[in-house]
Amino acid sequence: MLLHAPPVSPPPTSDKRWKIVETVMRRNDFQPEALIETLHSVQQSFGYLDEPSMRWVAGSLHVPLSKVFAVATFYHFFSLKPQGHHTCVVCLGTACYIKGGRKLLEEVERHYRLSEGKTTSDGELSLMVARCIGACGLAPTAVLDGQVNGKRSPAELVSAIDKMLEGKVQP
Amino acid sequence: MKPEELELMAEAARKQDGKYTNHICVCMESGCMSSQSDVLMAQIQEQIKQQGCADSVQVKPVGCLGLCCNGPLVRADDRLYQNVQASDAAAIVASLKGQPVTHRLCDTGQPFFTRQKLIVREHSGRIDPENIVDCIGHDAYRSLLKVLTGMSPQQVVGEISNSGLRGRGGAGFPTGLKWATVAKAGGTPKYVICNGDEGDPGAFMDRSVMEGDPHRVLEGMAIAAYAVGAEHGVIYVRAEYPLAVKRLTKAINQARRHDLLGHEIFGTKFNFNIEVRLGAGAFVCGEETALIASVEGNRGVPRPRPPYPANKGLHGCPTLINNVETFGNIPAIIDRGAAWFASIGTEKSKGTKVFALTGKIKNSGLIEVPMGITLREIIFDIGGGIPDGKAFKAVQTGGPSGGCIPESHLDQPVDYESLMQLGSIMGSGGMIVMDETSNMVDVARFFMEFCMTESCGKCVPCRVGTYEMHELLNRICEGVGTQDDLHLLRELCEMVKQTSLCGLGQSAPNPVLSTLRFFENEYRDLIEAAQKRRERDEQVANEKHVSLEVLP
């Protein structure tokens, strides 16, 4: 198999997290095929994909920047904007929708004056929508900072978010 | 690992289990873990220490126990407990030698459990998915050994063909035929891909198989690779399933360490390796050519077929793509034989199907039922019917590519052909029940919105067609629709179905067509109400107009 050259340029900053990204690329022999894996590791390390990171990945994997941007914008999982300190993902899969997932979303939007895909002005809370998190037996669900909250009423969800924002452990 | 070592290891694992008189299994899947079943398990372990029975009681983290809506679920010997809290740990441990904890007891004699037939999920809920030794103790890799040491690749393909197994991803293509095509295809290397991109909203069967019994999937893939002559395997999993990714990766590493993957498996000439690839949230990647594009690191965009992936797939090489559940059936077919498998199910649909039963239903969770069971049995016996005294309205199968089936057709058997006749599809196995409070036009709009946002944009009929259909459904739902809108909607459905490039577009109109077929009155009611409102507004406007005219 063709061995690809290691990155030609140093990482955008001296941040140690770039090492993680580089390890992922190295494990895949810097093959262009590893683009999605690499973007996953950038997003996991930094929370989102910005232009310098995409430029560096493009150079290191020897793929055009246009392709990196195309892939990053094609898949819903990648975010080009920084997320808030805390995240709330409301599931709108079919089971959650039938059981009132939209009501959860509307209540969170109303209560925090947020809209889907946006972050509060203080950068504390981001609101997102998921297509299905696969916890349909617990519908309607929302994911708060990675923790699945099932069978919540709109009011219960808001109080769980408040607790999360105050930094208390979730119930 | 040498062939004889597998049986020795299995024997040792069973002996180890036999040392304990009592066994407590705690569900450790995404569903129950979201209700802190990990904390619960730690609590149970603590209680075992405190009550001084660490030598006689075994605690095991296991895969899905089925009744997800009542999680966390715990099985203590033959008793199943539901909605278990950490505070119940002491009582459960104490109950092992006496009376059960009645207020948490779940009746395992109810149809939800007795009407199921387990093949793919036979070990889920019994084995620790992160412990290969425990899995081997439950016969993991035994079928692989049987195949490698006693069957030719042609015999394996023949066995799968004879079993009548059909693809569990939705379309139901005969698995044996697919394997035979890849086996015959010229060119090397060949690849085996496991499709774990379960994008269908409301479905979580594959997640459960990957989380609850990952070695079964690896074994199925290895058998397939032997049959078609492949040495490389890829499992493509949604990034939304981090636990499945973690367990698969761990399972692969363990299998490699025990030489069950890698070079010269069981001392034969067969080499096979598997790697995990992450999806990144695109429904269209469930389509096989789009999935291949995504595995290659590109935008997940489908391409016209032929050439089929069986001839030109990953990196232009012959590629076998099967769904997680399809691979999950393979070890059982090899172990018990094609005739046994073919004896289950209907004439054209053999075996069992795993469904994720959710929505407005009493018992929601995962079920595995023999093909040919009726929808009524699934919903009213196994599912326990509709909660809160509401009336049943429809059941949705096949997700955004399927349709809604009304009460009058509930006695149809569940198999590929019957569901197709009803304008729906088997799909990957999502089954969402709706009661009288659901508006079917709104449901159709929900699915169309899904298809509109998930359309990859490559072909015009799907990209523009789904957008226009969504607009029309929006107008009807919001009470401004007309008869002409309905007419246009029907025309567009037909057009998009006939002319789209891939399965996403070709099946996107299904939810609309099936609701139009069975619930046309709901569309008409909305349109007639809109018509009346318009007439009234016009009348009011006319009256105003007249009064304006008399003024100079």
Q: Give the model confidence (pLDDT) of B247-294 as tens digits.
A: 999 999 999 999 999 999 999 999 999 999 999 989 999 999 999 999
Name the average pLDDT for chain B.
Answer: 94
- Closest chain A C-alpha to B394 CA, distance in angstroms: 12
User: What pLDDT band is residue B199 in, cutting at 50, 70 and 90?
Assistant: confident
- Taking residues B446-453, what's their average pLDDT? 95
CB of B9 closer than 8 Å to CB of B254: no
Q: Which residue has the tokens 């119930």?
A: A171
Determine contact: B231 vs chain A, CB below 8 A. no
**Long-range Cβ pairs for the range A39-43 (8 Å, 24+):** A39/A68, A39/A71, A39/A72, A39/A78, A39/B280, A40/A77, A40/B239, A40/B278, A40/B280, A43/A77, A43/A78, A43/A79
Q: Which residues pair with B433 in a beta bridge?
A: B359, B395
Report the topology of domain B17-108: Glutaredoxin (3.40.30)
Euclidean distance between CA atoms B263 and A86, whole angstroms: 46
With CA atoms as reference, the chain A residue closest to B244 would be A134
Strand order through the sheet with B74-76: B57-62, B22-27, B74-76, B79-81, B105-106
Q: Are strands B191-196 and B430-435 parallel, antiparallel or unpaired?
A: unpaired
Q: Which residues pair with B366 in a beta bridge?
A: B356
Q: What are the pLDDT digits (tens) for B341-391?
A: 999 999 999 999 999 999 999 999 999 999 999 999 999 999 999 999 999
Task: Please provide residue B135's backbone torsions phi and psi, each rounded to the nearest 5 degrees.
Answer: -65, -40
Distances B79 to A27, A45, A120 between C-alpha atoms, Å: 47, 44, 48
Domain ranges of chain B: 17-108, 139-342, 352-438, 441-526
Class of domain A86-166: alpha beta
CB of B328 closer than 8 Å to CB of B167: no
Decide: residue B35, CB within 10 A, 0-12 exposed, 13-18 middle, 19+ buried: buried
- Please indicate whether, in this complex, the C-beta atoms of B297 and A130 are within 8 angstroms of each other: no
- Taking residues A16-37, what's their average pLDDT? 94
Domain ranges of chain A: 17-74, 86-166
Q: What is the DSSP letter of B314?
A: G
- Please indicate whether, in this complex, the C-beta atoms of B34 and A95 are within 8 angstroms of each other: no
Q: What is the ipTM of this complex?
A: 0.90
- Residue B185 tokens, joined: 């295809």
Class of domain B139-342: alpha beta
Euclidean distance between CA atoms B502 and B458, whole angstroms: 10
- Out of A33, A98, A134, closest to residue B297 by CB: A33
- Out of B68, B283, B430, closest to residue A94 by CB: B430
User: What pLDDT band is residue A1 in, cutting at 50, 70 and 90?
Assistant: very low
CB of B475 closer than 8 Å to CB of B365: no
B207 three-state secondary structure = helix
- Residue B126 tokens, joined: 């019994």
Q: What is the DSSP letter of B198?
A: -
- Please indicate whether, in this complex, the C-beta atoms of B296 and A78 are within 8 angstroms of each other: no
- Closest chain B C-alpha to A47 CA, distance in angstroms: 14
Euclidean distance between CA atoms B66 and A44, whole angstroms: 32
CB of A101 closer than 8 Å to CB of B446: no
- Please indicate whether, in this complex, the C-beta atoms of B201 and A36 are within 8 angstroms of each other: no
Q: What are the pLDDT digits (tens) for B318-338?
A: 999 999 999 999 999 999 999
Euclidean distance between CA atoms B127 and B64, whole angstroms: 10
CATH code for the structural domain at B352-438: 3.10.20.600
Architecture of domain B441-526: Up-down Bundle (1.20)
